Amino acid sequence: MSEDKEEAEDEYDYDKLLGRAQEDLPEEISSHERFTVPDVDALIEGNTTIVKNFEDIADKINREPQKLLKFLLRELGTAGEMEENRVVFKGKINPNEIEEKLEDYIEKYVLCSECGRPDTHLVKEDRVTLIKCDACGAHRPIKGKVKKAHTSGDSDEIEEGGTYEVMIQDIGKEGDGVAKKGKYTIFVSGTTKGEKVKIRINKIKGTLGFASVVER
């Protein structure tokens, strides 16, 4: 085998790429834990539904329990009240429905629309409520439904050959852009920090992805 051919094969040896990528992870990106919210611990008793860990959920997303409760009551179309660290809803409510409404609240009132981080707080300016991100400095008004970025799938999972819209959050040591999607860290060649691009996943190794730009 010629030396040039060996070098070409080494270039596409993904085990080597994996090792290089792990070394290449920016400290800022690699130190972030994945944002997770406790599962709704719900219990139906008679004609009521009790969420036993409601206060824990509100604390995790850093929002006032009463404001979160007000949103859920409106969206679920029911009445309810807090009792210590739990909430009692009137009626038999499917826990999955509560989970869905909670996800809607987090998307609208918690997650930053630019970097996707939960490190935000709500402020009022000129009678307009804004969500401000402490991580990237972005801010936006709270108005209507927040649109999710269009991808080939709505989940945080990625697949080889799939296309996704991402934001480049950092630059690795080798010069590749670094994006995050769910549990995955994705290396995208030829990109700069802060750039939004549509990418195609070329290879996945564990929770690392290697991608190229298909649209800017």
Least Cα distance to 129 among 56, 67, 49, 36 occurs for 67
**pLDDT value, residue 20:** 67
Question: Domain 3-33+150-215 class?
Answer: mainly beta
* CB-based contacts of 50-55 (< 8 A; 24+ apart in sequence): 50/86, 50/87, 50/88, 50/89, 51/86, 51/87, 51/89, 51/98, 52/85, 52/86, 53/85, 53/86, 54/82, 54/85, 54/86, 54/87, 55/82, 55/84, 55/85, 55/86
What tens digit of pLDDT does each residue of 119-147 get? 999 988 888 888 999 988 888 888 654 44
What tens digit of pLDDT does each residue of 25-73 get? 555 544 445 578 889 999 999 999 999 999 999 999 999 999 999 999 9
> Residues 6 or more apart from 185 whose CB is under 8 A from it?
21, 25, 29, 30, 178, 179, 207, 208, 209
**pLDDT value, residue 18:** 63
| 3-class state of residue 48 by DSSP | strand
Q: How confident is the model at residue 148 (pLDDT cuts 50, 70, 90)?
A: very low
pLDDT at 156 over 80: no
Domain ranges within the chain, ordered by starting residue:
3-33+150-215, 42-141
Average pLDDT, integer, range 191-216: 88
Q: How confident is the model at residue 155 (pLDDT cuts 50, 70, 90)?
A: low
- Residue 213 contacts residue 163 (beta carbons within 8 Å): no
- Residue 141 contacts residue 132 (beta carbons within 8 Å): no
d(CA 61, CA 68): 10
Higher pLDDT, 81 or 204: 81
Q: How confident is the model at residue 154 (pLDDT cuts 50, 70, 90)?
A: very low
The CATH code of the domain at 42-141 is: 3.30.70.3150
Threshold 0.75, pTM exceeds: no
Within its chain, how far is the Cα of 114 from the centroid?
Answer: 11
